[in-house]
Amino acid sequence: MTGPLSGVKVVELAGLAPAPFGCMLLADLGADVVQVDRPGGPGAPPTPLRRSRRTVTLDLKTEAGVAELLRLAARADVLAEGNRPGVAERLGFGPATIEKINPRLVYARMTGWGQHGPLAERAGHDIDYIALAGALEPIGRAGERPHAPLNLIADFAGGGMLLAVGVLAALLERERSGRGQVVDAAMVDGSALLTTFLRGMIDGGGWRGARGENVLDGGAPFYDTYETSDGGFLAVGAIEPAFYRALLTGLGLADAPDLPGQHDRTGWPALRDRFARTFATRTRDEWAAVFAGSDACVTPVLSPAEAPAHPHNRARDTFVEVEGRPQPAPAPRFGRTPAAAPRPETAVTVAEVLAGW
């Protein structure tokens, strides 16, 4: 194994998207992650989230399966699980049990609502967690209902990423104390954390309108998407004055005498209409060529299928192929301990894992 986490041993209980994503990050960066599947297969995350793992199959509803898991936990640095609160304890592999056999183990718990609170026992999904965290209400067009931004905020940014950060912090603290600890990573907490900048704008008066009426939510015509003549779209993010001037230059509107001022909110509807009509005169790629090399902050809106082929992504190897299909490459980059290329999951036995550990 290569990467900055080489030598770190992780046991991951297979689950849905958030915990597998967090453990994928650890595996990408060199940790030896062994995923414990239930009999009959994981039945959960897509293959990319299971990459760079070894997998074992254990029935954790049986004493024999739990015993095998405890053998792995006794040798591991991290155990990550995404069960509802109390499930691991009832099955016999909760934190108190594992601390007795491995006090250095970091026990990472990934849930939607956290380990305590009125909703801790309830089911939920990304849209529910961001709704309660105040992250969903601001997202959407003016006069329309809130719009769910895929499941990127709670599941991945506020969930799996938060889990990985917690694990890394606990491992670093263990170097000083010699002891592991429980990491309670809740998607509602992580979603709330991601609104920190938004709350600063609200407190500072920079978020003055309702949903869809502000600078960063599509309310401003200079921070929005526009359709082109071929049905494609461009993303425009020309907030700063110099970037806005570059946008007007590229659109051929730098000397337009009747153009409303950039921050004249009363003129935003007319400004958006002017931009929309102008962008509709050329194709997406023609506009991309116009703004190439410019600081106008204008980029083509690429589909997931198109993104790997973009010249910038190709130059940085932002995407890599695993079994002939593109996947996002490990990130961030490390100068001295680079991450290895992702690889498909591999089925092994507990005995094989322990022999290596």
Torsion angle, CA of 150/152/158/159, rounded to 10 degrees? 90
What is the CA angle 115-117-122, rounded to 5? Answer: 80
Residue 298 · residue 250 · CB < 8 Å: yes
Is 125 an active-site residue? yes
From 77, 155, 189, 217, active-site residue: 155
Amino acid at 18: P
Alpha-carbon distance values, 122 to 84, 117, 142, 310 (Å): 8, 10, 32, 42
For strand 319-322 and strand 298-300, is the pairing parallel, antiparallel, or unpaired? unpaired
Is 28 an active-site residue? no
From 125, 184, 224, 310, active-site residue: 125
| Eight-class DSSP state of 158 | I
Closest CA to 24 of 45, 3, 50, 47: 50
Rounded-to-integer distance, Cα 23 and Cα 33, Å: 7
Q: Which residues are catalytic?
A: 125, 155
